Structure 1
Amino acid sequence: MLRAAVLGQPIGHSKSPVLHSTAYALLEVPIDYRAIDLSPEQAEAQAAELRAGGWAGCSVTMPLKDVFVPLMDELSDRVRQLGALNTIIVDAQGRLRGENTDVDGILGALADAGVRQVERLTVLGAGNTTLAAVAAGAELGVRELRIVLRNELKAQKVAALAEELGMHVRVEELGSLGEGALAADPLVISTLPPHGADDWLSALGAGTGVLLDVAYDPWPSALAESWVGPVLSGEHMLVHQAVEQVRLFSGVNFDESVRENVTNALYASIGLHREG
């Protein structure tokens, strides 16, 4: 029996143990998956424990997504580009590889909602999940990116990534937005924490495009409640990024049929309706 876990702080709200345990039971793969409350100061010791053996891998959430990057033996191209990981894969020799499946999570959630190509994207926030959203946008064909946040100085890393990916970037501070500024945007991804957009609503307006609000506890957010168009919670993203982690941890060959079966089982495990 190999071990796996989700690492973060706080971690009690995480649905990853339910998702992963459901998948391994379905696939008949002997992996015991738990939640571990871990501070940034404990990351180095945790990496050493992973190298000691008996581990398949770990999911990584806040505030550790960039903390673990320098502790890896190998990084995927995506992690090197974003500077953040959400997945640690442990090989048979105890080497640690950093991967980022948040991008897969965003793409999978949006595909379920019928979004497979879009030219304009608006993101709210500028953290590590925003970087994943921009990378996902590049795969969707986004050419124009708008970054909305309270302080435009915090947008530098996101803007630099977007420009590297060939996007035309516009950064706007919340205070400069006119009423209903997002009303006509085809795709909006909020990477703000729970309640992070509660006092943004008058400026953002009731959008008619697709909204992916990565926060999901509590749900619905005030932003989601005010939205007119299709809304996806962070749980949709969580399911799809977990499916990819399961593939990486289990070593099972995921053909289209296996991926669909696992995805549907994970949606059912948390009582979530799958779009599409």
Structure 2
Amino acid sequence: MAGEAGPRRAAVLGSPVGHSRSPALHRAAYAALGLTGWRYDPIECDEAALPGLVDRLGPEWVGLSVTMPGKRAALARAEQRTERAVAVGAANTLVRLPDGRWRADCTDIDGVTGALTERGWSGTRSGAALVLGAGATADAAVAGLAELGVGQLTLMVRNPARAAGTAAVAKRFGLAAEVVGWDPRLPGVDVVDVVVSTVPAGVADECAPAAARAEFVLDVVYHPWPTPMATAVAAAGGRLATGLDMLLHQAFGQVEQFTGRPAPRAAMAAALPDRVPA
């Protein structure tokens, strides 16, 4: 169905969803591909409401982008699931199959690998990474880091008991993971290959001076921007991948799965005029 001509619909589901930049990316892609009549809208939808909403969608729907807090519910709702989505335990992408069923995928992994690669990642040095936070975004980050060759992971969290799920994801992807308590000094920052901050805006501000010593940093926040961490890393000359980089690279795979065509990457990048080019 995704490759057929004629009016089609897609959307991003989340709560809150008004800040999402996904509509700009997908609309730019559909216009560049000549898919007239295609719509992509933001829909306010929490985890509890997601299954029922998906059940009510008509045959004109080709796919859904899913942001917080519905990523685990999206995985559970789908009749088919990619191996990587199952391993991560969450899905940011639901694709309508020709028989009407839904397939879950996690293109957030591509967001992580694409963002770091675009900013100059060329391989591991120590093979270690420091991830701030635990949850669905951290889980995808762990999977992406494994794909990039990282083998050792430190998870720094405020509540270590809540990191069990992300530690389990790391194990499924073959990473040795250590969970440590929150420390703004970021112990080990001088030797890890990359620091990935997956915490909400404001939480990691106190870590900015330490993060400035890192060789690579991925800060998944993109509003408000720049974060203190991003400012410190840029001022120190470190390599900085941003939340907008991650958003762009995860959207490429969604567009390709929804439309059945190669993503028009330049047109989509142009839809994020505030993203600093690599």
TM-score, length of structure 2 as denominator length: 0.90
Moved more, 54-63 or 166-175: 166-175
What's the RMSD between the two structures over aligned residues?
1.7
Residues in 1 aligned to 2:229 and 2:253: alpha-carbon distance in whole angstroms: 28
Say yes or no: does 1:154 pair with 2:167: no
**Which residue pairs with 2:141 in the alignment?**
133
- In the superposition, relative to structure 1, how do residues 180 and 147 fare at CA in structure 2: closer, same or farther (>3 Å)? closer
Q: Shift of the alpha carbon at 1:56?
A: 0.7
**Which residue pairs with 1:246 in the alignment?**
255
Say yes or no: does 1:89 pair with 2:95: yes
Say yes or no: does 1:197 pair with 2:197: no
Task: Look up the SS of the partner of 2:200 in the other structure.
Answer: coil
CA contact (8 A) 2:74 2:92 kept: no
CA contact (8 A) 2:155 2:163 kept: yes
CA contact (8 A) 1:185 1:207 kept: no
% identical equivalent positions: 37
Q: Structure 2 regions of 5+ residues with no counterpart?
A: 1-6
**Which residue pairs with 2:277 in the alignment?**
274
Residues in 2 aligned to 1:178 and 1:251: alpha-carbon distance in whole angstroms: 46
Say yes or no: does 1:35 pair with 2:37: no
| Residue identity matched to 1:194 | A
Task: Look up the SS of the partner of 1:68 in the other structure.
Answer: helix
Task: Look up the SS of the partner of 1:104 in the other structure.
Answer: helix
- In the superposition, relative to structure 1, how do residues 3 and 170 fare at CA in structure 2: closer, same or farther (>3 Å)? same
Residues 115-159 of structure 1, C-alpha deviation per residue, up to 9 Å, x if partnerless?
Answer: 142222111101111111111111111111111111222221111
| Residue identity matched to 1:240 | H
| Residue identity matched to 2:10 | A
Q: Of 207, 213, 236, which aligns to 2:245?
A: 236
Task: Look up the SS of the partner of 2:192 in the other structure.
Answer: coil
| Residue identity matched to 2:247 | L
Q: Of 4, 10, 19, which aligns to 2:16?
A: 10
| Residue identity matched to 2:47 | P
Q: Shift of the alpha carbon at 1:164?
A: 2.7
Q: Shift of the alpha carbon at 1:39?
A: 2.0
| Residue identity matched to 1:166 | G
Residues in 2 aligned to 1:221 and 1:44: alpha-carbon distance in whole angstroms: 34
- In the superposition, relative to structure 1, how do residues 116 and 131 fare at CA in structure 2: closer, same or farther (>3 Å)? farther
CA contact (8 A) 1:180 1:207 kept: no
- In the superposition, relative to structure 1, how do residues 28 and 268 fare at CA in structure 2: closer, same or farther (>3 Å)? same
**Which residue pairs with 1:170 in the alignment?**
178
Q: Structure 1 regions of 5+ residues with no counterpart?
A: none
Residues in 1 aligned to 2:188 and 2:42: alpha-carbon distance in whole angstroms: 40
- In the superposition, relative to structure 1, how do residues 210 and 48 fare at CA in structure 2: closer, same or farther (>3 Å)? same
Residues in 2 aligned to 1:121 and 1:243: alpha-carbon distance in whole angstroms: 25
Task: Look up the SS of the partner of 1:24 in the other structure.
Answer: helix
Moved more, 12-21 or 193-202: 193-202
| Residue identity matched to 1:247 | E
Task: Look up the SS of the partner of 2:17 in the other structure.
Answer: coil
Q: Which runs of 4+ in 1 moved over 6 A?
A: none
CA contact (8 A) 1:9 1:38 kept: yes
CA contact (8 A) 1:7 1:37 kept: yes
Residues in 1 aligned to 2:185 and 2:49: alpha-carbon distance in whole angstroms: 44
CA contact (8 A) 1:120 1:145 kept: yes
| Residue identity matched to 1:273 | V
| Residue identity matched to 1:32 | R
**Which residue pairs with 2:267 in the alignment?**
265
Task: Look up the SS of the partner of 1:169 in the other structure.
Answer: strand
Residues in 1 aligned to 2:113 and 2:186: alpha-carbon distance in whole angstroms: 29
- In the superposition, relative to structure 1, how do residues 179 and 133 fare at CA in structure 2: closer, same or farther (>3 Å)? closer
